[in-house]
């Protein structure tokens, strides 16, 4: 389902249904941006061309750049001098990405070469039916180039696991995968009759092979999102990290109060899983530039723009680790995190998360006012944690940033799992955050 979110009617169940539709529509970062943009435009947001003059009239706007998107509202009572309330998330997930020259053969089978993108839980991609999605760079008849979205949900690819008869030690010594040799998917048992990938792709797009120049394509799991468990208390899906947060931020932006004096902003970045150091990542100038252009267009001086940052705050919305029932010893014993125990504030003494005491107090007060339970995550001293866009955003803008997310299991698997209540709670908390009246932290 693609279209406007009927956010006023959302319950935990209908929110979960809408999240499932959002994830299904977003097999790649580029599709996630398209789906988010389409929903925003359906609700009255206007697309902005960042290469064109900036809009000076108050309104609701959305800007797209590749796998990244920024949306904001200067309508109603919003005043850039009062600062920004920013929700940041990321559209990318660890996966297998197609090489520029993918065709090769082995043992009488045609395969496609892939690169490992991000911190992939490698074993989770074995023995799954996989489709392909992303964007393709094509050349038009006049010689100009442009991108087109591509998606194929046919079961094209599979990474077959080695039979236990050929690896008798796997259950005693564990599965060991070489990412160069063992993760290359097969796509035909007839290498001499199957077309090259470029030929096949051009046929799918109804283009000549010569006009197809480049691609950013990736495999995606074809198993649909679903509730599970004897009481259906669990929700399993691909790409929960971090499309769950993208969706919650979208719902929150659409549900934010027009009476708030601060400017609500939703930022969906690409490439968080590989460090954010790209033109569409959180470490780029994308967000600082957009915020400054918003301020200048509303009549702020540059000094007032800098002053507005001092009144701004960002939630870095990303998944949190739930305590694993089979490996509870891998978690800090005094900070257990439960599925559906409430949104999770994430802390780290080495600043791998952006959370600090003033920012956390602000979020905890909001949660208490909204009667939303919260939890706290911190890693063991002997197991380093990951990171998010939180520290990057805090450093880039110099604003208070808090890392908050929904608890999940199997993070970075091809298929992750969370609870059925917290996704809705998280959206409610984010909407409350965006609607916070003037009065800072």
> Is the pLDDT confidence value at 438 over 80?
no
Q: Position of tokens 């000094």?
A: 303
Instruction: Categorize the per-residue pLDDT at 9 as very low, low, confident or very high, splitting at 50, 70 and 90.
Output: low
CATH 2.30.250.10 spans which residues of the chain? 95-221
Q: What is the pLDDT of residues 225-281, one digit of tens each?
A: 999 999 999 999 999 999 999 999 999 999 998 889 999 999 999 999 999 999 999
**5 pLDDT more than 50:** no
Share the mean pLDDT of the chain: 94
pLDDT of residue 439: 45
Spell out the CATH class of 7-93+238-434: alpha beta
- C-alpha distances (whole Å) from 327 to each of 322, 323, 324, 375 are 11, 8, 5, 19
Instruction: Give the β-pairing of 186-188 and 109-117.
Output: antiparallel
pLDDT the model gives residue 72 = 97
- The closest alpha carbon to 433, from 88, 85, 89, 90, belongs to 85
- pLDDT band of residue 384 (cuts 50, 70, 90) is confident
Closest CA to 249 of 271, 226, 269, 234: 269
The label of the residue with tokens 């968080």 reads 272
Task: Return the pLDDT at 3.
Answer: 43
Give 66's contacts (C-beta < 8 A, 6+ positions apart): 29, 30, 33, 135, 270, 279, 280
pLDDT at 386: 86
Q: Is 41 exposed, middle or buried (0-12, 13-18, 19+ CB in 10 A)?
A: middle
Question: Within its chain, how far is the Cα of 372 from the centroid?
Answer: 23
Query: pLDDT value at position 437?
Result: 56
Topology (CATH) of 95-221? Aminopeptidase i, Domain 2 (2.30.250)
Report in angstroms the alpha-carbon separations of 316 from 59, 391, 405. 24, 9, 8
405: number of CA atoms within 13 Å, CB side? 35
Confidence label for 74 from pLDDT (cuts 50, 70 and 90): very high
Strand order in the sheet with 226-228: 226-228, 234-237, 416-419, 407-409, 320-321
Asked whether residue 405 carries a pLDDT value surpassing 60, the answer given is yes
Do residues 385 and 353 make contact, with C-beta atoms less than 8 angstroms apart?
yes
| Comma-separated ranges of CATH 3.40.630.10 domains in the chain | 7-93+238-434
Q: Can you give the pLDDT at residue 10?
A: 76
Check pLDDT > 90 for residue 34. Answer: yes
pTM: 0.95
> How do residues 111-137 score in pLDDT, each as one tens digit?
999 999 999 999 999 999 999 999 999
């Amino acid at each position: 389902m693609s279209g406007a979110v009927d956010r006023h009617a959302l319950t935990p169940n209908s929110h979960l249904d809408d999240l499932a539709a959002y994830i299904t529509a977003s097999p790649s970062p580029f599709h996630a941006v398209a789906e988010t943009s389409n929903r925003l435009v359906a609700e009255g947001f206007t697309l902005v061309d960042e290469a064109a003059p900036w809009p000076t009239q108050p309104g609701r706007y959305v800007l797209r750049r590749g796998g990244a998107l920024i949306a904001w509202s200067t309508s109603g009572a919003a005043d850039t001098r009062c600062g920004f309330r920013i929700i940041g998330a990321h559209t990318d997930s660890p996966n297998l990405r197609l090489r520029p020259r993918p065709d090769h053969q082995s043992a009488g089978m045609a395969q496609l070469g892939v690169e490992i993108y991000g911190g992939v839980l490698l074993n989770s991609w074995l023995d799954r039916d996989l489709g392909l999605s992303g964007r393709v760079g094509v050349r038009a008849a006049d010689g100009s180039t442009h991108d087109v979205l591509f998606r194929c949900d046919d079961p094209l690819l599979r990474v077959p696991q080695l039979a236990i008869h050929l690896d008798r030690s796997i259950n005693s010594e564990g599965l060991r995968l070489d990412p160069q040799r063992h993760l290359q998917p097969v796509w035909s048992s007839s290498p001499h009759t199957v077309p090259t990938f470029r030929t096949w792709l051009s046929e799918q797009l109804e283009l000549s092979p010569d006009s197809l120049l480049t691609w950013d394509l990736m495999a995606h799991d074809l198993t649909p999102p679903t509730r599970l468990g004897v009481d259906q208390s669990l929700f399993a899906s691909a790409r929960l990290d971090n499309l769950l947060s993208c969706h919650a931020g979208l719902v929150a932006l659409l549900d934010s109060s027009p009476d708030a004096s601060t400017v609500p902003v939703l930022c969906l970045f690409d490439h968080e899983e590989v460090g954010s150091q790209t033109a569409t990542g959180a470490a780029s100038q994308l967000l600082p530039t957009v915020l400054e252009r918003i301020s200048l267009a509303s009549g702020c001086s540059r000094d007032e723009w800098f002053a507005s940052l001092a009144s701004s705050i960002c939630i870095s919305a990303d998944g949190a680790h739930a305590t694993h029932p089979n490996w509870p010893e891998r978690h800090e014993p005094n900070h257990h995190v439960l599925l559906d125990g409430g949104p999770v504030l994430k802390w780290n003494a080495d600043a791998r998360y952006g959370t600090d005491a003033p920012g956390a107090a602000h979020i905890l007060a909001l949660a208490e006012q909204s009667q939303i339970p919260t939890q706290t995550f911190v890693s063991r001293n002997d197991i380093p944690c990951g990171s998010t866009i939180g520290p990057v955003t805090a450093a880039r803008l110099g604003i208070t940033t808090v890392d908050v997310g929904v608890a999940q299991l199997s993070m970075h698997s091809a298929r992750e799992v969370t609870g059925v209540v917290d996704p809705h709670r998280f959206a409610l908390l984010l909407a409350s955050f965006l609607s916070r009246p003037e009065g800072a932290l």
